[in-house]
Each structure stands twice: as C-alpha cells, then as structure tokens.
Amino acid sequence: MSTLFSPLQVGTLTLPNRIVIAPMCQYSAEDGNMTDWHLIHLGGLALSGAGLLIIEATGVEAVGRITPRDVGLYNDDNQAAIARVLKAVRHHSRMPVAIQLGHAGRKASSHVPWEGGQALGPDEGAWQTVSASALPHAPGEPPPLALDVAGLARVKAAFVQAAQRAHALGIDAIELHAAHGYLLHQFLSPLSNQRTDDWGGSLENRMRFPLEVFDAVRAAVPVSMPVGLRLSATDWVEGGWDVEGSIAFSKALAARGCDFMHVSSGGVSPQQKIPLSPGYQVPMAERIKAEVDMPVFAVGLITEPEQAEAVIAAGQADAVAIARAVLFEPHWPWRAAAELGAQVEVPPQYWRSQPRELKALFGDARIGAR
C-alpha cells in the first residue's frame, strides 16, 4: 500500500492522496482578473489526480501584486473572474481547491519574470511599495514605505476581505503566503524588518503582524474552512530568519488553530546561498513536523514518485507539494500511481489511455471503452 496515495485529513478537509500541487504564479491576469489562460492551466491540473490544487499567489490588494499581471482578489471583478474559472474546473473535477493569499510588499511593482523581473520604472506603471521597514529588496531598487499603524490595519483588513471572498467562492481552503520574501516574510526576517516598535526587534515582535493577520483571517471564515500558511524556513543568509525561528512561529500558529504548514525557504535577500539538491528543503519540514500537531507539506526538488513516497513513508512530512515538475509533466500523479502500484482518479474521457499492463491504475476504467 502506497503511503503517498493514502488519504490525509487537513482540518475538516479530506485529501484523497498526499500529492499537493503547489501555487505557481502564471503572470497572465488582466487588472487582477483571471483569464482564459487560467481556465486552461487550472483545468488541466485539476485532471491530474493530485490530492489538492492550490491556486497561485493572489494579491489581497492591488499594490500587493508582484507584477501588474498577478491574480488578485480585492474587488468584485476579480471575484467574478475566479468564479468563472472555478465553475468550469469543478464541473469536471472533484479535486479540492485551495487559494494562496499574499501581499508582495517591497517585491511588488515588478516586471514579469520573462521580461527580467526587475522593478518597474516610473514610466512603466510603477507604484509605491510597502514593507516592514524602508529597505529595498536589492541595491538600486526604489525603497518601500514602512507601514504605519494605519497601513498595518489596511493590509490586515485586505487579507480578511480576500479570505471572505474566497469563502464566498466555495474555495476549500486558504493558504497565507509568508514565504519567498513577500510581505509577511518581510516582517519575520531581521534582514528586512528593522523596526523599533511593537512589530520589530525581538522574535516575538517580528512574528506579531503575521500572527495578527492569521488570527484575523481565521476569525473571518468558518472553522470548517481550513486555514494554513506557507513559510520560508530559512533565509539562507547568516543573521537572517532561520529554522529555530520557524519552529517558534509554527508553534504559535498551531496554538491559534492553524490547519497546515507548507515549508519552503529563501526569497527575502539576493545574498541567499541555497545548496540545491533533490529534496533539499525536506529536513526543514521534518524539523517543524516534529514540533507541531498539524499536517506539514514538504516542497523543493521533489521530482520522482519513489522520492515522494520515501518522504511520506519515513514520516518526514505529511504531504509533498510539487510545482515545476507538474508543469513539465501535468499527469505526474498518474505516473506516480503507476510506479507505486496505486490508483488515481481520472476522468472517463481519458480511461482508454490506460496501458493494458496497468489495468487497475484508473480504478473503474474500462479498457477499450468506445
């Protein structure tokens, strides 16, 4: 029996297996609105047989988008555009769908990656960014404004309103984005947070605003809707955010009713030195899993089914999240099920693709059906 294909309880949500499709920015929205690209992209992934699909980082306010092409959920048009895509996806797939809500902070107002990813210029539609402190992400970039008390309240309210819109859409779960150098991560890391008030300095103070956002979102949606968080477990920079801080943060979240942790790393500083290797972030997920009583997702160069199975079987994480691998191979869970002797749910339109030697792969599929 494959552990990767065993069910997982995440709050009130039951995942049919432990393969999570991680959120992946597509930079294809118009004024924050999903387009036909998202219908094609998410529709395809929803047929992959994974246990959970997480919609890409979705800005809770317009100035919180990484680029002008990011998806948002801050107005009625944004909500209607997601509703259109979600309706089509749900018509053909029973896969649970979550959404990642985030704010880019000082990493906002940027070009899309295939145009360089650098900060937009004044004549390119740039907008004023915000952060924990008035420190630019990289030398030469425009400095952000340090959020004052009113700004903190505005951002927190934006997260709440986006969460309420997500619930109204019928989305199954919310993931708050506190990783990859975006705003909530900017408060956690001493590299980006040099405040001297209640939201800076000590570990307790640097965790304060992200925890306030979590509390506000948790209170704004029903208990039946799981709320989790993605964090960068380390900055990969000496003197930056680290695994010990991540453990303390995860424990504080667990005490507040957090339903899952999604463990990544890096993104807050161009000085980071990441030792890339297969599964390089799994040990950090394992450290956090040992300290908290909630599901922990591992991510990071997990590309092979046997590798994913080993992570779950060894108890290093409760689920594995894949991103680039599933972009390259959209039916990756099919291959994983075939290699691990498991079954995967596949729409009947695809049943006849099942190889005869794997006649049990698609469950009730009828080989040779016309």
Closest CA to 60 of 23, 21, 91, 99: 99
Please name which of 370, 309, 312, 318 lies closest in space to residue 338, comparing C-alpha atoms.
309
Q: Whole-angstrom Cα distance, residue 21 to residue 51?
A: 8
**Residues 355 and 368 sit within 8 Å (Cβ to Cβ):** no
- Return d(Cα 346, Cα 105) in angstroms, integer: 39
Tell me the C-alpha to C-alpha distance, in Å, between residue 27 and each of 30, 72, 91, 195: 9, 11, 25, 32
- Alpha-carbon separation of residue 256 from 125, 145, 312 (angstroms): 39, 30, 26
- Strand, coil or helix: 80: helix
For residue 20, give both structure tokens: 């999570």
Question: Catalytic residue positions?
Answer: 182
Q: Give the 3-state secondary structure of residue 15.
A: strand
